[in-house]
Amino acid sequence: MYRDAHVGEAPVGGAAFALPASCAGCPVRSSAICCVLDDSGLTALSRLGRRVTLAAGETLLWEGEEAVTVGNVLSGMLKLSTLTGDGREQIVGIVHPSDFIGRPFGKDSPHSATALTDTTLCVFGRAAFDRFAREHAVIGQALLERTLTELDRARHWMLLLGRKSACERVASLIVEIADRADDGPAIDLPLSRQQMGDILGLTIETVSRSLTRLKRAGIIALPSLRRIAINRPGELRAIAEG
């Protein structure tokens, strides 16, 4: 069950709009999909939204159920997953801060969205957001651009899974998480070794061997099971690029 808080604020003084405090202090204001809106548009959108917090392991969207919620990730990370025919979970993506989550203009969710870490989101009812997007063309354009970016990312992962070695796949995943986290030379992995294997099409043993190989080469350090220090980022990126 997630917790929510009101995030909207009424416009001030007729045609003049005061930017809602929640938007002014938003950690992803400059990169989330709503960054294309002016202050009046943000004020209108904020009336439709609320802030929710998910604890690690809580699910926001369920595969196959009606997609009633969409929104921006403010902090934390989620996994997108689907169930195979024999009931196994397959992770198909990771959602980072500033990413848009949910299925606007659609009915059912094609995957589940579950928090990998404690996560905060600004969420909207899908029907209300769909109406808002129809009335604000810049949001529709931004959604299209995000969709194309996600398509490019999916094609990149198809190449990764089809052509790269195990060590190159592991390096690629570390680089992507580090680039998105932008936390410096050390990152906290939101994924277990098994989850890394699910994403990369590898066994847990192969993931562990690849990490050990990178560690022995001095490219990374593993101070703990979920912590990676990137000692030589240039070499790690070169391996990731194959």
- Residue pLDDT, tens place only, 126-178: 999 999 999 999 999 999 998 898 888 888 777 777 788 999 999 999 998 89
pLDDT for the residue numbered 10: 33
Predicted structure pTM score? 0.80
Q: Indicate if the pLDDT at residue 8 is higher than 90.
A: no
Q: How confident is the model at residue 12 (pLDDT cuts 50, 70, 90)?
A: very low
State the average pLDDT for the chain.
86
Cβ-count burial of 71 within 10 angstroms (0-12 exposed, 13-18 middle, 19+ buried)? buried
pLDDT for the residue numbered 199: 85
Instruction: Set out the domains of the chain in order of their start, with CATH numbers.
Output: 3-157 (2.60.120.10), 164-240 (1.10.10.10)
Query: What's the farthest any 2 CA atoms get from each other in the chain?
Result: 65
Mean pLDDT, range 227-239, rounded to an integer: 94
pLDDT for the residue numbered 181: 79
Mark out the alpha helices in 67-165 (DSSP H runs): 126-135, 137-163
In angstroms, rounded to a whole number, what is the distance separating the alpha carbons of residues 240 and 23?
36
In angstroms, rounded to a whole number, what is the distance separating the alpha carbons of residues 187 and 182?
9
Mean pLDDT, range 193-209, rounded to an integer: 92
Q: How confident is the model at residue 13 (pLDDT cuts 50, 70, 90)?
A: very low
List pLDDT tens digits, range 203-225: 999 999 999 999 999 999 999 88
Q: How confident is the model at residue 18 (pLDDT cuts 50, 70, 90)?
A: low
Q: Are 234 and 166 in contact (CB under 8 A)?
A: no
List pLDDT tens digits, range 54-71: 999 999 999 999 989 999
Length of the chain (residues):
242
In angstroms, rounded to a whole number, what is the distance separating the alpha carbons of residues 104 and 142?
12
Side chain identity at residue 120, one-letter code: T
Mean pLDDT, range 194-201, rounded to an integer: 88
Q: What percent of the chain has pLDDT over 90?
A: 54
In angstroms, rounded to a whole number, what is the distance separating the alpha carbons of residues 54 and 117?
8
pLDDT for the residue numbered 112: 95
List pLDDT tens digits, range 28-55: 988 899 999 998 899 999 999 999 999 9
